[in-house]
Amino acid sequence: MKKNMYIFFIGTTAEFIKLAPIIKELRVRKISYKIITSGQNKIDFEYLKDFTGKLKINIAFAEKSKMSSIPLFLFWAVKTLLIGITSLGKELKGLNINNSYFIVHGDTVSSLIGSLIAKRFRLKLVHIESGLRSHNFFEPFPEEICRFLNIHLADILFAPTDWAFRNIQNLRGIKVNTKQNTLIESYFWSLKQKKQGGLNLQKKLGKYFILIMHRQEHIYFQKKWTRNILDLVLNNAKKNQNCVFIMHALTSRFLESERLNAVTQAERILMTPHLPYQSFMSLMRNAEFIATDGCTNQEESYYMGLPMLALRNLTERIEGLGENVIISQDNEKIIKDFLKNYKKYRRKPIYTKARPSKIIVDYLNKDTLTEKQIS
């Protein structure tokens, strides 16, 4: 009997952080796998090398331009898809379609490209983190569209929560509830790391909060709204708190194009580049709260019990909603109330020994798979 083959198609560091526990589980069991990188972003594999071990990248597509505009991004996406369909033929055509699993994660454009490549070569498409939905194609954009297409293309869908599982239970294919997001394993590993490699901002700045504004639907299409939200948060945060403003590439370009140089020079604001995962988790744990227009870190905030203000109308996750996580809903009153009373949203940290990666690998490593649901 031929052994199963597992192929990971990864586009961003955030995807890798959530796929890392599955890769580690395969390595521990000495099960072979391959990694293909899409080139959507530079993936910092080194940040988790103490967790996964040193990884071999089997195929790496050319990286997208760092100064990418929307037209350039679309050009990269189409080009990568076409190259993947044509150049991966030799690599993928010889695989047994009955025991070859093409694994994508979440809702990035890369995950959709990977899904289409898997369908082209008739490989079993595995979607990790299935069922998270905002049910609005414009927030987050284009991620919600990508996730919608992925869950309809996938042959095997691993949902991280009961709620996510219910969102996909009427779809075709195999549905498995892992009860927790694979992220939780990378997160708890990061807590044990003594060498954080980041800034000890608690000692340097005293009390501080984290601010993130980087969503493309805001930066590109709602510039006036983005300016207003920045002003609202920065002007209403408590005066004895410093602001750690995370500088994503889109954030920097937005501040420059809108001539918001005063923001970068304000005394209470520290502009910080994107940090390694362990360092950013340390930064979050010592913060008073986090205000962000993306919900990528909603789960970690929930695990920590850290107050989080989501500067958006919708979220594709349910962790912490009504507890430590508040959705601003473009409501000035909600934002001001959170900034004034954020302490009432702090909760006790959550601890669990859950290992969703084991559930996933156990299931994929079975000899036969049939269409069914496992809750």
Q: What is the pLDDT of residues 204-259, one digit of tens each?
A: 778 999 999 999 899 988 999 999 999 999 999 999 999 999 998 889 888 888 87
Q: Which residues of the chain have pLDDT under 50?
A: 1, 367-369
The domain covering 196-345 belongs, at the CATH homologous superfamily level, to: Glycogen Phosphorylase B; (3.40.50.2000)
Residues of the chain with CATH 3.40.50.2000: 5-180+354-374, 196-345
What are the CA-CA distances from residue 107 to residues 86, 141, 338 (Å)? 23, 10, 29
DSSP state of 170: T
Burial 183-202 (b: 16+ CB within 10 A, else e): bbbbbbbbeebeebebbebe
With a pLDDT cut of 70, the percent of the chain lying above it is 93
User: Could you tell me the CA-to-CA distances from 342 to 216, 239, 326 in Å, in that order?
Assistant: 27, 14, 10
Length of the chain: 375
Neighbours of 104 (CB within 10 A): 32
Tokens of 20: 């890392």
Query: CA-CA distance, 77 to 79, in Å (whole number)?
Result: 5
Spatial CB neighbours of 355, under 8 Å, sequence gap ≥ 6: 21, 25, 185
Class of the domain covering 5-180+354-374? alpha beta
| Distance in angstroms (rounded) separating the CA atoms of residues 305 and 312 | 20
Secondary structure of residue 269 in the 3-state scheme: strand
